[in-house]
A and B are shown apart, each in its own frame.
Chain A
């Protein structure tokens, strides 16, 4: 089982709709979770971080975390063509000695069509 799993997509939504991106993770000890957006050929850009169960909203973006189900999602309201990109879910895993590493999913490609 992969440590962080995402549906590769493409997820196709019409402009103005809500896009829902999902991610599951395997390590119950994970404490922090991130969503990055990556345009083709560009570097990942942080759009949301979430640390506690529940919802966190930032503009058109809402991150949802359910640690019991080991599930984190990203909702994009009023989707725009400029939101078309690959969205990477990342989970922070802690190791002994205070070390931690981000483990990335392979990403979900979102396509917003006019």
Chain B
């Protein structure tokens, strides 16, 4: 079984719709992250959470919100999707004292029409 799972894996939606991407992990890690990846731009951090009560904005948080429902669950919401949010979204996890190593989920390909 995968240690970090993401749902859905693919999603096509329309401009203005609310979308939620979900991430779950069985690694027992306390830290979780959301990234987006666009061609040629690499991975950019949207939000990160170092424990259930800790939520921090990353470099591109505008237009996104997150919820850490439990240590193992971290969801990303697009309140009103727009076409330039079309991208590949990855969830990642790490542990405090783990040297910074992050482990990635399989990704969600989101298309906003």
Binding site for B on A (CB under 8 A): 8, 31-32, 34, 41-46, 49, 51, 88, 90, 92, 99-102, 104-107
**Chain B minimum-CB-distance residue to A49:** B101
CB-CB under 8 A for A105 and B42, given A43-B105, A43-B107 = yes
CA distance A12 to B88 in the complex (A): 26
Q: Which residues of B contact A45 (CB under 8 A)?
A: 104
Closest to A51 in B: B99
| Top-4 shortest CB links A-B | A92-B100, A106-B42, A43-B104, A104-B43
- Chain B residue with the shortest CB-CB distance to A92: B100
**Are A8 and B104 neighbours in the complex by a CB distance under 8 Å?**
no
B90 cross-chain contacts in A, Cβ below 8 A: 43-44
Interface size bracket, B side? 20 to 34
Q: Across the interface, do A32 and B100 meet the contact criterion of CB distance under 8 Å? A: yes
Question: Which chain B residue shows the least CB distance to A8?
Answer: B40
A43 touches B106 (CB 8 A): yes
* Cβ–Cβ contact A104 & B42, under 8 A: yes
**6 other A-B residue contacts (CB within 8 Å) besides A99-B50, A105-B42:** A32-B99, A34-B101, A43-B90, A43-B105, A90-B102, A106-B41
